[in-house]
């Protein structure tokens, strides 16, 4: 049975006009118009473009939420089995609209979608994790060949067929990992990879380098003598009994523990659930992890203005980047609200 396909295009590829029509709101036209004709050609007998949905680039960028809601309604009205958005090439507003519409259509209408764009299109980074995004050139010079790749992947998705690797299908990695069985042992692959590297041949690492965004250390704008200093740790200090039930690894929680009136931490009152390092020594003396003793001395000697009366603590082992970033943000907000100027963060 031929699939019902909707094609999404911007004003230019939908033949409404150039930049002067970029403010045009969403509209649907029966059948394939403009670049949607390439989609129809690529589909052949496998499917029919039942509608072409078009939206101006500026309208989509300036009224993003409204535009996507209106576009989803137009797509829904055509009752498609598949949405093909773009390809948007290097057109940024268009690429973002394609990704956003695909993500919304998948989520709300539960139908598969596919889009395509150039690696540097901002839509790639925003949506590739959720939306199958085929890599295309920067310009529409090879429109039909590239649309054919979008449609080939789209047909697999619409038919529920297995999707091959990003390299084989030509889409941007979605950033998900899955165990598979390789053709050779890891040891054999490692030796082959090293020989290639030594010979100056290109090496395809099996693990992408993480893109940790750099966090510049802010400057302390006052002297230490006038500053309030907080102690924060990811080394797992908790009061005995672990009242916040902070996980031993892969933590999603942190605790806020008062040190008000304490000049030292009594080892008998603390514990440590951290499963990523040998906690023998910090259980024996918690100051090895959270130096309340020395910090109090510095406070009394006037070397620091004040020691913040709350210690924040979590377990930093196998913690996902997402949870780490969230906990860090929350702790930072609380410290800022409390007027803390600087933090000593002890890690393990």
Which residues contact other proteins (rule: CB under 8 A)? Answer: 163, 165-166, 173-191, 193-195, 197-198, 203, 205-212, 249-250, 276-278, 280, 317-322
**Looking at beta carbons only, is 92 or 166 nearer to other proteins?**
166
Neighbours of 199 (CB within 10 A): 8
Nearest approach in angstroms of CB 330 to other proteins is: 19
Is 48 strand, coil or helix? Answer: strand
Distance, in Å, from the CA atom of 81 to the CA atom of 88, rounded to the nearest integer, reads 21
**Looking at beta carbons only, is 10 or 272 nearer to other proteins?**
272
DSSP H/E element including 81: none
**Looking at beta carbons only, is 81 or 234 nearer to other proteins?**
234
What are the φ/ψ torsions at residue 333 (nearest 5 degrees)? -65, -45
Nearest approach in angstroms of CB 114 to other proteins is: 15
Distance, in Å, from the CA atom of 162 to the CA atom of 164, rounded to the nearest integer, reads 6
Nearest approach in angstroms of CB 348 to other proteins is: 8
CA of 151: how far to CAs of 30, 80, 115, in Å?
19, 14, 9
Nearest approach in angstroms of CB 158 to other proteins is: 19
Nearest approach in angstroms of CB 347 to other proteins is: 9
Nearest to 67 by CA among 58, 59, 75: 59
Nearest approach in angstroms of CB 229 to other proteins is: 22
Distance, in Å, from the CA atom of 67 to the CA atom of 327, rounded to the nearest integer, reads 34
Instruction: Judge residue 316's burial from the number of C-beta atoms within 10 Å of its C-beta, 0-12 exposed, 13-18 middle, 19 or more buried.
Output: buried
Distance, in Å, from the CA atom of 278 to the CA atom of 272, rounded to the nearest integer, reads 10
Nearest approach in angstroms of CB 167 to other proteins is: 10
Give, in degrees to the nearest 5, the angle at Cα 223 between 219 and 227: 90
**Looking at beta carbons only, is 36 or 315 nearer to other proteins?**
315
Q: What is the DSSP code string of 188-210?
A: HHHHHHHHHHHTT-----SSPPP
Alpha carbons within 13 A on the beta-carbon side of 110: 0
**Looking at beta carbons only, is 220 or 318 nearer to other proteins?**
318
Nearest approach in angstroms of CB 210 to other proteins is: 5
């Amino acid at each position: 049975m031929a699939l019902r396909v909707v094609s999404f295009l911007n004003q230019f590829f939908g033949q409404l006009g150039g930049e002067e029509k970029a403010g045009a709101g969403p509209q649907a036209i029966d059948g394939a118009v403009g670049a949607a004709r390439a989609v129809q050609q690529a589909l052949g007998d496998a499917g029919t473009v039942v509608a072409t949905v078009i939206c101006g680039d500026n309208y989509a960028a300036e009224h993003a939420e409204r535009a996507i809601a209106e576009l989803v309604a137009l797509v829904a009205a055509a009752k498609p089995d598949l949405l093909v958005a773009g390809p948007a090439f290097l057109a940024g507003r268009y690429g973002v609209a394609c990704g956003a519409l695909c993500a919304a259509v998948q989520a709300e209408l539960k139908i598969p979608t596919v889009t395509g764009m150039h690696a540097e299109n901002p839509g790639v980074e925003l949506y590739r994790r959720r939306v199958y995004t085929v890599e295309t050139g920067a310009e529409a010079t090879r429109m039909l060949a590239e649309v054919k790749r979008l449609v080939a992947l789209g047909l697999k998705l619409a038919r529920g067929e297995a999707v091959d690797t990003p390299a084989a299908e030509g889409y941007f990695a979605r950033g998900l990992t899955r165990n598979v069985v390789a053709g050779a042992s890891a040891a054999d692959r490692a030796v082959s990879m090293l020989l290639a590297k030594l010979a100056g041949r290109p090496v395809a690492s099996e693990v992408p380098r993480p893109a940790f965004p750099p966090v510049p250390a802010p400057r302390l704008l006052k002297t230490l003598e006038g500053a309030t200093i907080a102690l924060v740790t990811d080394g797992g200090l908790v009061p005995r009994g672990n009242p916040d039930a902070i996980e031993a690894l892969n933590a999603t929680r942190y605790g806020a523990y008062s040190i008000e009136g304490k000049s030292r931490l009594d080892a008998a009152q603390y514990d440590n659930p951290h499963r990523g390092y040998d906690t023998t020594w910090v259980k024996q003396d918690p100051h090895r992890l959270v130096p309340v003793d020395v910090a109090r001395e510095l406070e009394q000697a006037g070397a620091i203005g004040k020691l913040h009366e709350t210690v924040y603590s979590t377990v930093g082992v196998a913690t996902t980047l997402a949870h780490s970033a969230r906990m860090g943000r929350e702790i930072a907000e609380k410290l800022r609200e409390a007027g803390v100027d600087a933090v000593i963060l002890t890690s393990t």
